[in-house]
């Protein structure tokens, strides 16, 4: 199977932020508003296989994606999720993190502790896939936020 996170057509539609090593994209099946993913550009199935440069750059890139996603969703709290391996719920064998902006009135609607158990199932079934038009609209706004806050992002 072709890796969707190595597919340039898919990435160019979904990306809202990137540098040499990492890319941030909007999730195809957003679980909450502002549900973004970020990942190394290089195809690795595990964060344990990151290069030294990737390990060094990871948290700073994470901070920037989180910042943009929170601005987008008008939220101040978030879940940061990494699923590695089949039993952990990893569906695409290219290491990636989920950022889920969380609000008191968000759509998760169940106990904040219990919801993670439901995450994999609900991510697939809660909504249908976004259309390309919906994605384009969202990406436009995310890119605008990234551009507007370029100075703040550089400092993260
Ligand atoms: Zn890949």
What is this structure's pTM? 0.79
Give me the pLDDT at residue 104, please: 83
Distance 2 CA to ligand 1 centre (A): 8
| Pairing mode of beta strands 36-40, 97-102 | antiparallel
For 149, list phi and psi in degrees, rounded to 5: -110, 25
Give me the pLDDT at residue 57, please: 97
Give me the pLDDT at residue 129, please: 85
Kindly report, residue by residue over 48-67, the tens digit of the pLDDT: 999 999 999 999 999 999 99
Whether 96 is a known active-site residue: answer yes
Mean pLDDT of 27-34: 91
Distance 5 CA to ligand 1 centre (A): 5
Ranges of H-type helices in 22-79: 52-73
Q: Sign of the C-alpha dihedral, residues 108, 114, 118, 120?
A: positive
Rounded Cα–Cα distance for residues 63 and 50 (Å): 18
**Res. 120: pLDDT tops 90:** no
Considering just the CA atoms, what is the radius of gyration of the chain in Å?
Answer: 15
Kindly report, residue by residue over 73-112, the tens digit of the pLDDT: 999 999 999 999 988 889 899 999 999 999 887 767 555 5
Catalytic residue among 35, 94, 96, 98: 96
* Nearest alpha carbon to residue 36 among 6, 2, 67: 67
Q: Please give the CATH number for the structural domain made up of 8-155.
A: 3.30.428.10
Distance 45 CA to ligand 1 centre (A): 8
Angle at 99 between CA 145 and CA 37, to 5 degrees: 80
| Pairing mode of beta strands 36-40, 22-26 | antiparallel
Q: Name beta bridge partners: 79.
A: 100
Mean pLDDT of 1-8: 90
């Amino acid at each position: 199977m072709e890796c969707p996170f190595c597919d340039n057509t898919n990435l160019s539609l979904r990306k809202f932020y990137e540098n040499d090593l990492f890319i941030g994209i909007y999730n195809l099946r957003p679980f909450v508003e502002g549900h973004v993913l970020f990942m190394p550009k290089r195809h690795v199935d595990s964060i344990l296989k990151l290069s030294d440069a990737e390990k060094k750059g990871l948290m700073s890139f994470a901070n920037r994606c989180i910042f943009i996603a929170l601005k987008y969703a008008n939220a101040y709290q978030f879940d940061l999720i990494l699923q590695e391996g089949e039993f952990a719920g990893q569906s695409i064998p290219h290491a990636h993190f989920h950022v889920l902006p969380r609000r008191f009135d968000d759509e998760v609607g169940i106990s904040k502790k219990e919801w993670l158990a439901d995450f994999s199932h609900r991510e697939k079934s809660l909504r249908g896939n976004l259309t390309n038009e919906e994605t384009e609209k969202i990406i436009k706004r995310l890119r605008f936020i990234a551009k507007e806050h370029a100075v703040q992002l550089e400092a993260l």
